[in-house]
Structure 1
């Protein structure tokens, strides 16, 4: 299986800062600060395939910060499955990409291996990647670079009772 094209909806979990509860499908934080699989300026949704993995990735092994955890449904995405050794090899990557010290590379002025992979895969028409969780061994995550635009995969929040706020008005100023 060279690529993963989600035939039916893929259920994902996302943990994020509660202050942004009204923007569950925004990738602006990742665009502002960059991430493992996206350089600064590239909106990206980071989510996990398991609830426990979403929590572990959000906290990064540090203090357990408050989080809002939502379930997402992704349909029609072309994702490179970088958990699969054959797919890594096919695209010219090896397993070391998952241990990349990407922040250190950035600090040194170098382009991290996952950012080079982003350029290659996005340029080849991929919407994102599956990758193994660093914080939750055995778990897997998705970095999604395109969603809900023209000819893009559909990503929706599962909120059947409409409980998520639609504006920042629900937050008090501190």
Structure 2
């Protein structure tokens, strides 16, 4: 499938100056990217982005950003037949033990799925959110390829250059 529209991401303010970086996911791995593979975890709604960024405890300081996206090759996990053909099912996507599997086996099944989809030429994955409080209507778009031009254009919306003017407080 193709995705055209707005995407949202809630960032730790420490990383807000690099809203197009997938470096954290690359360093540590995520549910849908193995270590060493950059990924940008975005959401289709503001509330989903906030839930994703604040999954533990009380709401923490967060910087919310919005992107304009035109992503040509998105794997849609709502298609059960395509998901089965890719070697996965809905229960596997939702497996809360993916981190333990990554530690024990070196790669979680959802990360292996991502590796196969990337090799097949997909730029991203549309998948429901598994964050606390999310419903079946809350979706994320995990991007493995993004940039300033087609076929996987992602542009930060920051018309007033607010992020470039933001400076961390001085200590003293």
TM-score for both structures, normalised by structure 1: 0.87
Give a deviation string over 1:87-112, Cα, whole Å, max 9, x none.
21232321122222210102223421
Separation of aligned partners in 2, 1:151 and 1:114:
27
Give a deviation string over 1:10-56, Cα, whole Å, max 9, x none.
21110111122221100011111111001111111001001110000
Q: Is contact 1:146-1:152 (8 Å) kept?
A: no
The aligned residue for residue 2 of structure 2 is 5
Q: How far off is 1:83 after superposition?
A: 2.5
Name the CA shift for 1:40/1:152 in 2 (closer, same or farther; >3 Å).
farther
Q: Is contact 2:32-2:111 (8 Å) kept?
A: yes
Mapped pair 1:171 → 2:163: no
Question: What is the count of residue pairs matched by the alignment?
Answer: 167
Give unpaired runs (5+ residues) of structure 2: none
The aligned residue for residue 21 of structure 1 is 16
Name the CA shift for 1:71/1:150 in 2 (closer, same or farther; >3 Å).
closer
Let me know the Cα RMSD of the aligned residues.
1.9
The aligned residue for residue 38 of structure 1 is 33
Name the CA shift for 1:152/1:173 in 2 (closer, same or farther; >3 Å).
farther
Separation of aligned partners in 2, 1:50 and 1:154:
19
Q: Is contact 1:21-1:165 (8 Å) kept?
A: no
Separation of aligned partners in 1, 2:107 and 2:18:
29
Give a deviation string over 1:39-76, Cα, whole Å, max 9, x none.
11111100100111000011114221111011111113
Mapped pair 1:146 → 2:142: no
Separation of aligned partners in 1, 2:8 and 2:149:
24
Separation of aligned partners in 1, 2:104 and 2:84:
27
Q: Return 27-36 or 88-97, whichever deviates more.
A: 88-97
Give unpaired runs (5+ residues) of structure 1: none
